[in-house]
Amino acid sequence: MIPKRETDRGVDELLREALGDDLPADVAAGMRERIDGFRAGKTRESDSPRTAGTGAWLFRRTVWAALSILLLVAGILLQGARASSPLADRISAIKTASLSLDQIRR
Amino acid sequence: MNKAGLLYLVFGSVAAALMGFTGREIATAFRLAAGRPGPDDDRRKSAYFWEAAARNAWMLGALGSALNFTIALGSDSGSIGEMAGRMIQSLVVILYGLVLAVVCLIPAMKLADKSGAEAAAASPARRAARAAVSGRILGYVLFAATVALTILFLTGGQPRGGPLSLGRILLHGPAILVVFGGTIALALFAGRGVGARALTLGFAMTGVIALLTGLIQALFGFAHTNIEEISSAVAFIITAAAFALLGLVAVAAPLEDREVMDGRREKAGPFSRLFWVVFPLLTFICLVLTFIMVVTPMTKPAG
């Protein structure tokens, strides 16, 4: 426990004396107005463009992440299935030709 | 001598410089390299420019070799011996790149030495020099034109029988999917704060993984005596190496250059520097291995 300081004690007594009864009506109304204004501001902030921008950024990021995984998986699966391409076909033809040449030499 | 490779390297280096630096920064770098005096901040940036020029030459050399190698493989003309000769000649481009890189490293070292002592005390108020958009567009147009003209020049004199168009030879779908998918995934994983380094990491690491995957698949092909498997793996290696290098040269490196020149970073990241040196070297080794795999006759085991 933090010991209560002498100065704090003095302020407490002063407040107790000054605000012994309920708050005056005009002061209470002013306070309510300020609290409502603060709450309304917080609500507006949650709907602000900044938050909307963060949401859009997260959405874009998720889409990019999904797309990248999709590309990666498609590439791996196609390569695993030995997907044919003109370059692969050409290499295959060269290797077959070199094999035939080797067999002729023997 | 590979004249097309040499011209590609010179014009490609000019284009790569324009993609990452403004005309004023390039002019300052040449002026300071010629021994003119200049403020310490300009010296530091000029030293970085020459280092980037060396890096570009080295990576462009490897990219040129990979493209040239693919074209040599795809050509229908001549015997296997002639085709093997063209494939070996394509590897000369990386040698040109290495020589040009060494030439560019000399002013980089000289300028770094002179500005090194005061670099730490350089004014924190860095000039936020923005690259002129027109200069960057010019760089990209020149780069695309250089690559396209080199390919056209290399294939121009060779008859191309059958359905083997140039675009189809250079594009092995699975490798392109893996390189771009992996790069985007790694860049997203690295996050926004890493900046352009994320793209360098993405392209280089995906390229390395693709090269190793292709090599392992090719070795399995030899073990299974399956020519289709070996061919698919070799096509995967070549295309993955070419596209990873293209991404590094045309996307990641210019963005990192802009970060340094705009003062957003002091210098390029240590991992980026490592990748810029190591990945082209790995590409070269894989191209040599690929050449051996293509020209080595494969005999089926008896029985």
* CB contact burial B168-188 (16+ within 10 A = b; e otherwise): ebbbbbbbbbbbbbbbbbbbb
What pTM value is reported for the model? 0.75
Contact A87 B83 (CB under 8 A): no
Contact A88 B172 (CB under 8 A): yes
pLDDT tens-digit series, residues B179-222? 999 999 988 888 777 778 888 999 999 999 999 998 998 888 88
**Is B301 inside a domain boundary?**
no
Q: How far apart are CA B132 and CA B63, in angstroms?
A: 27
pLDDT of residue B58: 93
Least confident interval from A33-42, A54-63, B72-81, B246-255? B72-81
B209's CB contacts (< 8 A; 6+ apart) are: B178, B182
The domain in which residue B288 lies consists of: 3-295
Give me the percent of chain B exceeding a pLDDT of 70: 85
pLDDT of residue B207: 92
The domain in which residue A29 lies consists of: 6-105
Beta strands in B111-227 (DSSP E): none
B239 close contact with A: CB closer than 8 A? yes
**Is B61 inside a domain boundary?**
yes
**Is B300 inside a domain boundary?**
no
Number of structural domains, chain B? Answer: 1
B158, with CB counted inside 10 A (0-12, 13-18, 19+), is middle
B166, with CB counted inside 10 A (0-12, 13-18, 19+), is middle
Q: Pick from B209, B155, B164, B148: which is nearest to B182 by CA?
A: B209
Q: How far apart are CA B139 and CA B84, in angstroms?
A: 34
Could you report the predicted ipTM of this complex, rounded to two decimals? 0.71
Number of structural domains, chain A? Answer: 1
Q: How far apart are CA A73 and CA A51, in angstroms?
A: 33
pLDDT tens-digit series, residues B139-190? 889 888 888 888 777 776 554 544 455 566 677 888 899 999 999 998 888 8
For B241-257, what is the mean pLDDT? Answer: 91
**Is A23 inside a domain boundary?**
yes
Closest residue in B to A79 (Cα) is B174
Q: How many residues does chain B have?
A: 303
**Is A63 inside a domain boundary?**
yes
pLDDT tens-digit series, residues B94-141? 999 999 998 888 888 887 766 554 444 444 444 445 556 778 888 889
Q: Is the per-residue pLDDT at A7 higher than 70? A: no
Q: Pick from B299, B40, B230: which is nearest to A90 by CA?
A: B230
Contact B177 A97 (CB under 8 A): no
Give the H/E segment covering residue A45. Answer: helix A25-46
Q: How far apart are CA B176 and CA A12, in angstroms?
A: 73
**Is B277 inside a domain boundary?**
yes
**Is A69 inside a domain boundary?**
yes
**Is A44 inside a domain boundary?**
yes
Taking contacts as CB-CB distances below 8 angstroms, the residues of chain B near A68 are 180-185, 188
For B271-297, what is the mean pLDDT? Answer: 88
**Is B302 inside a domain boundary?**
no
Query: Could you tell me if A79 and B175 are in contact, meaning their C-beta atoms sit under 8 angstroms apart?
Result: yes
pLDDT of residue B90: 85
Closest residue in B to A85 (Cα) is B172
State how far the alpha carbon of B275 is from the alpha carbons of A18, B249, B278, in Å: 72, 12, 5
Taking contacts as CB-CB distances below 8 angstroms, the residues of chain A near B297 are 95, 98-99, 101-102
What one-letter code names the amino acid at B77? Answer: S
Lookup result for tokens 């993955």 = B240
- Report DSSP letters for B101-112, one per residue: HHHHHHHHHHHH
Q: How confident is the model at residue A67 (pLDDT cuts 50, 70, 90)?
A: very high
**Is B54 inside a domain boundary?**
yes
